[in-house]
Structure 1
């Protein structure tokens, strides 16, 4: 039995598409027949090896750059974006307590991880106002959140604060606002724990750290990018998740009855 996700020929824009989760999300949506626009910041990376996508560069911190991204995506990939996957983000690797964190670090993390999503959502919704009915029918915003946004993360308070704002500020706000533009539009957040991506590679080399991280994780494994990408596709599907709205979906192999130990150390 085949399962139709209802995403064939739907225009999907994925930000941060050159990274681990982003790249796998691109591949997943292509397999489902979507028209994919893949955003990158400074380097194409493995996106250069993927055909049948439109790859576009933009600085998500810059208002004009984001506006141009949505316009160019529509012009080069068959019309306005229907599904926006806000996947990009930075996680400063050096441990810093809030007491020791520079204002420059805080401002830059917020600019990328929070202001960027605001600019993207605003440009997307403005473009959606002028989209045809078919584009609006599949309208969906999906944020990539984090367990850090739910439990906090010592030494990375900037990242945790930004993710929490996406998950508990923008998601419930926008799920009420999108329907004024697209009556069946939905906004949700998919929130991983640790994922085996290049961003986390150095941290996950520490086997003792990984053991602590999995101590309260019932599934006893670090997620793969595919684990996250598949849930994004399910959440984007108007067939499978057409009545799912304003949800924070934890994709962390965990349970709400457990403290996220690795985020508390």
Structure 2
């Protein structure tokens, strides 16, 4: 299916693994030009370059919790000759593997989580909107002169603009012992998404903001946890589809929401990609004195 993504400039943050890597791969498959951000390792992206058209993929290292590095990321993206970023996928996040109840949580952990997950998303979204505004303004003189695109497939900058956040079931249902992560994701999924869908149209009239919120996904980061049968049971006990998602399950929804051709009248939505999950399993049979 043609999603009308050919040659559109896409930024994917946290692109080196799991959902980000699969999202990058899928955008490339549809002909997009992708700036792939990573914070530390770019090993998986390097492998992807060997598998695909490397002329459509650029890797940029940046710690997105630092304002200067976010600005540099967008500056570097503009140096590719692809123009400003028209579609942004804000996918990066951190979550501590250790369980820490809120009553024992150091303020440093809380602030670090919000800096890495929420403040960094604000910084990326802000620079994206600024670049989008520059791109739209630069296209106005050409449009006012009545010039026509060189090819029938060309699109005026901003017509395909979309911002897609990647949230989490933790942002909807909470996550005991990880309240910092859950709170940061909830703010992104609802506060940011619902605010920016009203602001972005002041920059580009047809631009959209949505969020994809996955549950458990089989990635390198979750592989160890998902080897524990009890962990799988707790994760899937309220999931009708009774399976863990693959990264492609989430990437497919991100790319579809990013496509104006198929989702052009969809904005301000939080799409849960969690197999129909109804909530958290809080107790095991033994907690009620029952045999497992």
**TM-score w.r.t. length of structure 1:** 0.95
Note the 1:244-259 alignment, pairs <5 A: 244-255=266-277, 258-259=278-279
Q: Distance in 1 between matches of 2:44 and 2:103?
A: 38
* Equivalent of 1:71 in 71, 75, 88: 75
Q: What residue in structure 2 maps to residue 87 of structure 1?
A: 91
* Equivalent of 2:238 in 216, 220, 223: 216
Query: Which deviations, in whole Å up to 9, do the C-alpha atoms of 1:123-143 show, x marking residues without a partner?
Result: 111111110452311111100
* Equivalent of 1:167 in 167, 175, 189: 189
Aligned length: 261
Shift of 1:105: 1.0
Q: Distance in 1 between matches of 2:36 and 2:60?
A: 6
* Equivalent of 2:40 in 14, 39, 42: 42
Question: Are 2:154 and 1:149 equivalent residues in the alignment?
Answer: no
Q: What residue in structure 2 maps to residue 21 of structure 1?
A: 19
Q: What residue in structure 1 maps to residue 146 of structure 2?
A: none
4+ residue runs over 3 A deviation: 262-265
Shift of 1:260: 3.2
Shift of 1:77: 4.9
Q: Distance in 2 between matches of 1:50 and 1:194?
A: 24
Q: Distance in 1 between matches of 2:191 and 2:42?
A: 31
Contact conserved, 1:189 with 1:247, CA < 8 A, in 2? yes
Q: Distance in 2 between matches of 1:91 and 1:236?
A: 25
Note the 1:117-196 alignment, pairs <5 A: 117-132=121-136, 133=139, 134-196=156-218
Contact conserved, 1:153 with 1:263, CA < 8 A, in 2? no
- Give 3-state SS (helix, strand or coil) of 2:223's partner: helix
Note the 1:103-122 alignment, pairs <5 A: 103-122=107-126
Q: Distance in 2 between matches of 1:54 and 1:90?
A: 23
Q: What residue in structure 1 maps to residue 147 of structure 2?
A: none
Query: Which deviations, in whole Å up to 9, do the C-alpha atoms of 1:3-52 show, x marking residues without a partner?
Result: 21011111110000012100000100000110011000011021012222
**TM-score w.r.t. length of structure 2:** 0.87
Q: Distance in 1 between matches of 2:31 and 2:62?
A: 25
Shift of 1:262: 6.9
CA 1:38–1:64 in 2, change beyond 3 Å: closer, same or farther? same
Q: Distance in 2 between matches of 1:226 and 1:81?
A: 23
Q: CA RMSD in A?
A: 1.6
- Give 3-state SS (helix, strand or coil) of 1:88's partner: coil
Q: Distance in 2 between matches of 1:45 and 1:108?
A: 25
Shift of 1:212: 2.1
Shift of 1:261: 2.5
Shift of 1:263: 11
Q: What residue in structure 2 maps to residue 260 of structure 1?
A: 280
Q: Distance in 1 between matches of 2:282 and 2:83?
A: 43
Unaligned stretches of 5+ residues in structure 1? none
Shift of 1:103: 1.1
Q: Distance in 2 between matches of 1:116 and 1:230?
A: 24
CA 1:263–1:18 in 2, change beyond 3 Å: closer, same or farther? farther
